[in-house]
């Protein structure tokens, strides 16, 4: 009798500790800095931006595209009201502080949406915050 009870307890415990089957499709990961080198893989680009029109966000997810396909960014010149400007080359998703040698003045987006610009700092070209 003890063997039957022990066997039943073992089967019951094994059933409790197994993972249920997973049937959902995996969610695709956001592109990383190493994988994204062009605008087509940059998340958060706002459609329908109008060159020169007012915009609201100058720090995170600042890029937009016009109705005719021109890339623009939301900037605030001399701390005036932000508006949509033509962007330089958008180099995809990059990491703040990483080297951007040969890309002086070009733009990118950090994985968290931060606006980045390739600037020379301490004799090295690195991706820096574009909103400063």
Map tokens 């574009």 to a residue.
130
pLDDT of res. 8:
45
Cβ neighbours, 10 Å, residue 59: 14
Per-residue pLDDT in tens (0 to 9) along the chain, 132 residues: 445 444 444 444 444 444 444 444 544 455 555 689 999 999 999 999 999 999 999 999 999 999 999 999 999 887 789 999 999 999 999 999 999 999 999 999 999 999 999 999 889 999 999 887
pLDDT of res. 121:
86
The total number of residues written for the chain in this structure: 132
Q: Spell out a b/e string for 69-106, using b for 16 or more CB atoms within 10 Å of the CB, else e.
A: eebbbbbeeeeeebbbbebeebbbbbbbeeebeebeeb
Q: 97, 129, 100: which is closest to 37 by C-alpha?
A: 100
3-class SS at 77?
Answer: helix
């Amino acid at each position: 009798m003890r063997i039957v009870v022990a066997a039943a307890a073992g089967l019951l415990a094994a059933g409790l500790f197994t993972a249920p089957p997973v049937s959902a499709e995996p969610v695709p990961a956001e592109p990383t800095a190493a994988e994204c080198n062009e605008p087509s893989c940059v998340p958060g680009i706002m459609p329908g931006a109008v060159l020169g029109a007012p915009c609201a966000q100058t720090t995170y997810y600042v890029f937009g595209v016009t109705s005719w396909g021109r890339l623009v960014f939301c900037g605030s010149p001399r701390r005036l009201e932000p508006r949509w400007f033509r962007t330089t080359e958008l180099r995809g998703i990059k990491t703040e502080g990483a080297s951007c040698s040969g890309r002086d003045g070009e733009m990118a987006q950090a994985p968290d949406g931060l606006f980045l610009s390739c600037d020379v700092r301490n004799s090295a070209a690195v991706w820096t915050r574009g909103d400063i």
